[in-house]
Amino acid sequence: MSDNKKRGDNAASAKSGSKASSIFDLLNQLCGITKKLKEETRGIEEFAEILDHQRKLTSDLQAKEDEVCELRKEKSVLWREFEAKHAEHRALLAPLKSKEAELSLTQSKLKESEAEVARLKTENRRLQQMSTKQTKFAKECAEAKEASESKLRVLEVRHADVERRYDSLKGFLRQDTLENWDLDELEDALVEFAERFHETLFASLQSLDRDFVGIPSPDNIPIASLLLTTGKSARLLRSAAVEWTVSKAMVEYIFVDVYSSKPRGWTTALSTVLKECRDPDREALIRCQLLADNDTDDNTRDRVVQNALDSVAAALGQTLPAGSPRDGFTHTLEMLFREAMALWEPLQRSKRRASADFVLERRYLDRGEDYYGEYGASKASHPGSSTPRLPLFPQISVGDTILLPAKALWSDQEAVAAAEAELERERQD
């Protein structure tokens, strides 16, 4: 506004100077143009109009200058209002920027969601296709299941028929007479009998020890050379030899597969054949047929017991003098053999073959090995004990399960050493 005012003032000044110059010229020419002025009244009127116009312009210029001042004041007020509004705008802009960041994040998530929706739609189409295939497959499976169930029903009928025929065949082959035994209960019964067998026989031998007249060396007895001594320290060893002989006879005659009136060679051969049979079912079939052909009666049992007694008598020779001592010992043996037979005879009809094996090895008398800990205190705490801790008994098995391991008898190593020393002295004498 001030610039416009200045330009107006300059223009007015220029015009004023120009008019003044014209007036001076007119004054100089006043005389010459007086007549012309009078004649040109119209030009003077125009000049007057120009002056009026100039005055009007000057008045307008002043009004404009006043208006400019007002506008400047209004501008100052508006500027202050603008700054206040700008501050408010900045205050509003700060949360707006955070909102824009949130909006950008939301848009990114929206794009991800849209991409996930697109993926899920694709997956849904794929699953629908799979569902169609699975439905078709399920239908085929249901049809196959129905066909299989139909075949199964036919097979069940055939199986039932085979079972009936098999049961009939088992009855014909007498396999239905075989039994499964409770091995834990059977093991307990065998352990109890083994201990009672040793205690009964050992007590009988101890009471008759003074009546021993010398034992000829039985075959396959590792301590046979010690039996030739008459020293008291060999008493336990002589008892061990007798007990070993009795146990061996029990294995050969009592713990067998079939009780028969046939010679012992037949029983031994049968045992060898059944032991070598690799098919348990075939072995059981052979055994139940032989049991059926050799039905055990009281006469057969008496004959088996007598054969075992004869075997012991033949092995021991003149161990005991004839008469009451030998008769009492024989009665004890017969009682033990019959008890063993009552325990073993049901096992002959076990579905898995029951067997007894007896081997006495020299290692059972080795000082460096302890076979006796489970029956009480260790050897070190009883270096001179004369009481056996374990029965001299064969290994008992049912199928591949060992119910009763073969057990050694004598823990009295001092008696063994003393007997060897006495035997050596007797030989030197």
CA gap 22, 344 in Å, rounded: 170
The pLDDT of residue 78 is above 50: yes
Which of 94-98, 314-318, 323-327, 405-409 shows the lowest mean pLDDT across its residues?
Answer: 405-409
Banded model confidence at residue 233, pLDDT cuts 50, 70, 90: very low
Q: Give me the residue label for tokens 């849209």.
A: 114
In the predicted structure, residue 280 carries a pLDDT above the cut 60: yes
Main-chain dihedrals φ then ψ at residue 382, nearest 5 degrees: -135, 65
Say what the pLDDT of residue 339 is: 92
pLDDT class of 258 with cuts at 50, 70, 90: confident
Would the pLDDT of 342 be above 70?
yes
- Which pLDDT score is estimated for 231? 52
Query: Is 350 a residue whose pLDDT tops 70?
Result: yes
- The answer for residues whose C-beta is within 8 angstroms of residue 403's C-beta and 6 or more apart is 183, 186, 187, 190, 396, 397
DSSP-derived letter for residue 29 is T
**Distance between CA atoms of 225 and 392, rounded to whole angstroms?**
19
Q: How confident is the model at residue 336 (pLDDT cuts 50, 70, 90)?
A: very high
Q: Output the pLDDT for position 378.
A: 37
Give the per-residue pLDDT at 34.
61
Q: Encode pLDDT of 79-119 as tens digits.
A: 988 888 888 888 877 777 777 888 888 888 888 989 999 99
Kindly state the percentage of the chain with pLDDT values over 90. 3
More confident residue, 108 or 413: 108
Do residues 396 and 356 touch, judged by C-beta distance below 8 A?
Answer: yes
Structural tokens at position 166: 């098999």
Residue 111 to residues 55, 101, 114, 122: CA-CA distances in angstroms? 74, 15, 5, 16
Q: What is the pLDDT of residues 355-389, one digit of tens each?
A: 888 765 554 444 333 333 333 333 333 444 444 44
d(CA 1, CA 68): 6
Q: How many CB atoms lie within 10 A of CB 89?
A: 11
pLDDT at 158 over 70: yes
Secondary structure class of 404 (helix, strand, coil): strand
